[in-house]
Chain A
Amino acid sequence: MSNAPVVPQVELVGVTKRYGDGRAVVDRLDLTVLKGEFVSLVGPSGCGKSTVLKLIAGLTAATTGDIRVDGMTPKNARETISFIFQDAALLPWRTVRQNAGLGLELEGTSRDRRREKSMALLELVSLADVADAYPRELSGGMKMRVSIARALATSPRLLLMDEPFAALDEISRDHLNEELLRLRAEQNWTAVFVTHSVAEAVFLSTRIVVLAPSTGHIRAMLPVDLPAERTSGLRATPEFDSVVARVSRALREASA
């Protein structure tokens, strides 16, 4: 990962987002995410983290400024992006396999190819044995894994994740963090990740961006110099703790 070419995957230049009442939720934001990076956005509630993701996805339009994804406008780049929502966003009337194949289906992939691909992805997130179950039968962690399988099924180059594990208990969350890193090592996508949890951000990221409250300004940009190969044992090391302490301090200063 360290000697990946320095090519921007996402570029935001002077991006401002105002609501109807004129209040800026993101104010003149400049942010570049390089190919292969895993960037986490952390900040207090209401700092515009989720809005930044929606801007990159083209789900909301910037008031001013320029956004490029893979050199394209967000809407044109959608085929290269997958979005993972906080509440898993599964269709309750579809089985796990049909949910995992939703993206492929909407993109017009043939039934056989869809079936094959979604089963392979469910295999990868160890859900193959519940492929015919409906979402209501799954735990929160399992639902999130279906959501991840669906996101990866369309072979994205960029993964946008909006607090995907916020509603889960700590054990499931840690487990899914490790799974996410394993999948990333295999598939090599770029990620922009929004979270409240500093420890989660440190464990996952190559870089952490701390946002200031209510303006969407960048208060700190912290590279995470931990080994690229990360396992659950990393959380118990002093190096990990020191990065967490550094990010926490930056977050406190940003909120002050």
Chain B
Amino acid sequence: MRQRLITMANALAVFAALLAAWQLVIWIFQVPPFMLPSVVAVARAVVTHFSSLAAAFAITAAEAAGGLVASIFFGVIIALFFAQSRWVRRMLYPYTLLLQTVPIVAIAPLILMWVGAGPEAVALIAFIISLAPIIANTTQGLISVEENLVHLFLMYNASRGQLLFKLRLPNAVPYLLVGVRIASGIAVIGAITGELYAGSSRVGKGGLGYSILYASTQLQTDYLFALVLAATVLGFGFFFVVKVLEWYFLHRWHESTRTPEME
């Protein structure tokens, strides 16, 4: 506990030093506010624009969460299918690589054309780019089961379903959670990038990405910084939720959650 407090204090000290350096740069080089607003100006922007900031935050959070939940759902189903045979994996795995390598900026206009601008299009983009790590990690977890455990199940004449749901799937949970952790970051980035292309065009109805675009064209640099800050908080929020999920599923049995006191 004490160790943790010290770590947190260190992180906060770094943060304070960065803010101080930022403010110093503005004072020393006389940077104009539309290029780099002061710390105080950003803080003021957070307060004055709080309601629109919160609205944009909520929209992007919902889009990213929707995309992430969909990629977990479909990713696990696809992984269950992949785990059935090496033949299926060899045939279809290259296409999941395609998911990972296709540049999102290149397909965003297509999605815009197919489903129209709006939160659904953005969630779809978040879904597409966060799917690959879920599939890859879950498949890995489903197939990397110790041979002895498979033999054990065979000795009890276990059915294919029992092997899948009582052995392979529980074995894959820690792997899946690592996939979700990676995917959650990508989903947030995907939602914000997606909004630059496919966010709602109605002012005040767009998420963080759309608002960032709008603020930059209006030279509202202090609000732009406030939006970037909100995007960072959103990313942290997703990370935190995933960490809680990891704890919930693994703390009783998994080696990664073993505390030193238990040794």
A residues contacting B by CB (< 8 A) are 54, 57, 59, 78-79, 81-83, 85-87, 89, 91-94, 102-103, 105-107, 134-137, 154
| B157 and A79 within 8 A (CB) | yes
**What mask results when residues 144 to 161 of chain B are scored 1 for a CB within 8 Å of chain A, else 0?**
001011011111111000
Bound CA span A54–B151, Å: 9
* Nearest-CB residue, chain A, relative to B262: A137
**What mask results when residues 194 to 231 of chain B are scored 1 for a CB within 8 Å of chain A, else 0?**
00000000000000000000000000000000000000
- Kindly identify which residue among B157, B255, B258 contacts A107, using a CB–CB cutoff of 8 Å: B157
16 A-B contacts (beta carbon < 8 Å):
A59-B154, A81-B155, A82-B155, A83-B155, A85-B151, A85-B152, A86-B148, A92-B254, A94-B253, A103-B155, A106-B153, A106-B156, A106-B158, A106-B162, A135-B253, A136-B258
* Nearest-CB residue, chain A, relative to B151: A59
Bound CA span A92–B249, Å: 13
Given the complex, which residues of A lie within 8 Å of B166, measured CB to CB?
105-106
| Known contacts A91-B149, A106-B162; is-contact A136 B253 (Cβ 8 Å) | yes
Given the complex, which residues of B lie within 8 Å of A57, measured CB to CB?
151, 155
Interface size grouping (class) on chain B: 20 to 34
Given the complex, which residues of B lie within 8 Å of A91, measured CB to CB?
149, 167, 170
Given the complex, which residues of A lie within 8 Å of B167, measured CB to CB?
91
Bound CA span A93–B170, Å: 7
- Check if B4 is an interface residue, CB within 8 A of chain A: no
B residues contacting A by CB (< 8 A) are 146, 148-149, 151-158, 162, 166-167, 170, 173, 252-255, 258, 262
Given the complex, which residues of B lie within 8 Å of A105, measured CB to CB?
166
Instruction: List 8 extra interface pairs beyond A78-B156, A106-B153, CB under 8 A.
Output: A57-B151, A78-B155, A79-B157, A92-B253, A92-B254, A106-B157, A107-B156, A136-B254
